[in-house]
Amino acid sequence: MCSVTKEQVYDELRTIIDPEVGFNLVEMGLIYDVEVDDSCNVVITMTLSTKACPLHQMIHQWVEDAPKRIDEVNEVTANIVWEPEWNISMAEDNVKQALGSL
Amino acid sequence: MFSISKDYAPPFKMIEPFFKFGAIAYLISIISFLFFNVDVSLLDLKVVGWVHMFLLSFVMIVIFGAMAQLIPVALEIGHYNVDYYKPIFLTLSIGSVLMVLGFWINSSLLPYGGAIVLVSMVLFLYETLKTLKKTDSNTLTVRCIKGGNIFLTVAIVIGFLMALSISLGFNIDFNRFLPIHIVLVLVGYVTITVIGMSMILLPMFGLAHGYDGSDVELSFKILVGSIILFSIFRLLAWNMLSYIAIVSMLVGIGLYLRQLLTLYKVRARKINDIWYMHIYTAFISLAAVVVLVLLWLLFDSDAILKTALWLFLIGFFVFVINGHLIKIIPFLVWFERFSPLVGKKKVPMLHEMLPSKEVDISFWLSLAGLVSGALGLLYSSDTLFKGGVSLLVFGALFMLKTVNFILDFKPEE
């Protein structure tokens, strides 16, 4: 049985900051789901704010690396999806406020 | 799962000279404005030389450098061979200087400069077309890159023939070919390229989603059709019909502006930062150009035509380019020097890599210079025009300082 929680994974993902907007991926609402199985393998479903993101590959790598900082975690897979398409309503209120959208 | 390109950012060292050269050329081209009076003829070889310095040494060189970065982003594939950008820079920088000297000092230099610029353009076209062949994508941006490059090819062939005729003295009808050359470069290449790239960059930076893109689709079709028709009509010397083609181009640009308004309304990032200020100035200038060209067609006024060209070159081109330089260069520097440090030490945000005071000063001086220069040309006042140019010179100096600051931005030891 794996003792790693979703919250621990989210906490690690909160350390990844998009250098263009200055917010972390979780508060931007770019992480759609996190699953942790009994063998401590992590599957992350995520999106990006645009398909043309020049940091696409790098952000994907950061997301796969971040949960590995938790001792028990084995494999990490990050799947980038485009449905549903990201929009500002998915972001946390502090992001909306900072961008002037609230 | 979306496939990921490994070549989204070209080697920084390869692209850096494009931006350095462009910023210096911009400063020199603005300084050289001080030697013109408002009553100068647009066909004066000094003006023609200036236009080539501005367009080749600043606009084209910055666009080519930016395309090295933006083509993979727009097409979601890597370059055919990004190493082509080394000889592209070398030939474009040397060729453009020789061409300007050819117009200003010694016309025998023109064919040499023209031939070297031609080589540069051919290399750029070859690399771009080979890259385009790698993708099945047919988005508006892809079509803009394809269309723009075809227009550029025809434009440079016509330009080269005209350069040969000036230096070798053979006869070519400038009344027919010069307007075609101008429209193909300014509208066919630069404007269509800006339209294509803006439909990637503006939603990306403004976080705009879920909008209807039909206006820009129609705008592209109208622009392509009217540029082709204009070229045919001028070639056949059907001047009246060529004016109708110009009106049709203005309709195309108007639709593009309406598309931008749609993007503006749905953007999530509503904070008006310095990038937005540049973009607002660029597109308000473009809207003013549409109105002024219509007035020029009605009243055939030299002052109105000069004001329209000023707003097109300085208002639209300069502000759209400088606005994106302060986005693209920090990204390239960050990608090269800071991305390997992510997770190991604190890395800066992109906006923290800008010297905000210098950028602000550059913007406001340039804006004041743009307005004063436009009024000077409209009311035929040398005082207003040269006052505006002086402000632009200082704006360009601060822009050069900004570019150098970003390029020198390094991690603390």
The yes-or-no verdict on residue A41 having pLDDT over 60 is yes
- Regarding predicted confidence, which is higher, A19 or B321? B321
Residue B169 backbone class (left: φ over 0; alpha: ψ -120 to 50; beta: rest): left
- Give me the pLDDT at residue B8, please: 59
When CB atoms are compared, the residue of B4, B74, B205 closest to A60 is B4
Question: CB under 8 Å to A95, separation ≥6 — which residues?
Answer: A21, A23, A27, A28, A29, A88
Please report which confidence band the pLDDT of residue B98 belongs to, taking 50, 70 and 90 as the band edges: very high
Residue of A35, A32, A37, A31 lying closest to A16 (CA atoms): A31
B4:A56 CB<8 A: yes
Does residue A101 form part of some domain?
Answer: no
| Angle subtended at Cα B302 by Cα B300 and Cα B308, rounded to the nearest 5 degrees | 95
Chain B interface includes A99 (CB < 8 A): yes
Buried b (16+ CB within 10 A) or exposed e, B312-327: bbbbbbbbbbbbbbbb
Its ipTM equals 0.83
Beta bridge partners of B267: B208
B331:A20 CB<8 A: yes
- Which helix (H) or strand (E) segment is A79 a member of? strand A76-80
Q: Which residues of A touch B343 (CB under 8 A)?
A: 15, 62, 65-66
Q: Which tens digit of pLDDT belongs to each residue from B229-251?
A: 999 999 999 989 999 999 999 99
B200:A100 CB<8 A: no
Q: Which residues of B touch A21 (CB under 8 A)?
A: 207, 269
Does residue A53 form part of some domain?
Answer: yes
Structural domain count, chain A: 1
Does residue A68 form part of some domain?
Answer: yes
- Which helix (H) or strand (E) segment is A35 a member of? strand A31-36
Q: What is the arithmetic mean of pLDDT over B114-122?
A: 92
The length of chain B is 413
Does residue A16 form part of some domain?
Answer: yes
Does residue A22 form part of some domain?
Answer: yes
B1:A58 CB<8 A: no
B338 → chain A, closest CA residue: A19
- Regarding predicted confidence, which is higher, B5 or B351? B351
- Give me the pLDDT at residue B170, please: 78
B204:A15 CB<8 A: no
Does residue A84 form part of some domain?
Answer: yes
Q: What is the arithmetic mean of pLDDT over B28-47?
A: 93
Please report which confidence band the pLDDT of residue A63 belongs to, taking 50, 70 and 90 as the band edges: very high
Does residue A65 form part of some domain?
Answer: yes
Other Cβ atoms less than 10 A from the Cβ of B1: the count is 10
Q: Which of residues 198-217 of B touch A (CB under 8 A)?
A: 200, 203-205, 207, 209-210
Chain A interface includes B129 (CB < 8 A): no
A79 → chain B, closest CA residue: B1
- Give me the pLDDT at residue B5, please: 42
Does residue A100 form part of some domain?
Answer: no
Q: Which tens digit of pLDDT belongs to each residue from B249-258?
A: 999 999 999 9
Residue from A16, A21, A60, A83 to probe the interface with B (highest B Cβ count within 10 Å):
A21
Chain A interface includes B409 (CB < 8 A): no
Q: What gap in Å lies between CA B111 and CA B107, rounded to an integer?
A: 8
Structure tokens that stand for B194 in this block:
């800006």
Domain membership of residue A80 as a residue range:
6-93
- Please report, rounded to a whole number, the percentage of residues in chain A having pLDDT higher than 90: 74
Q: What is the arithmetic mean of pLDDT over B379-396?
A: 97
CATH of the domain at A39: 3.30.300.130
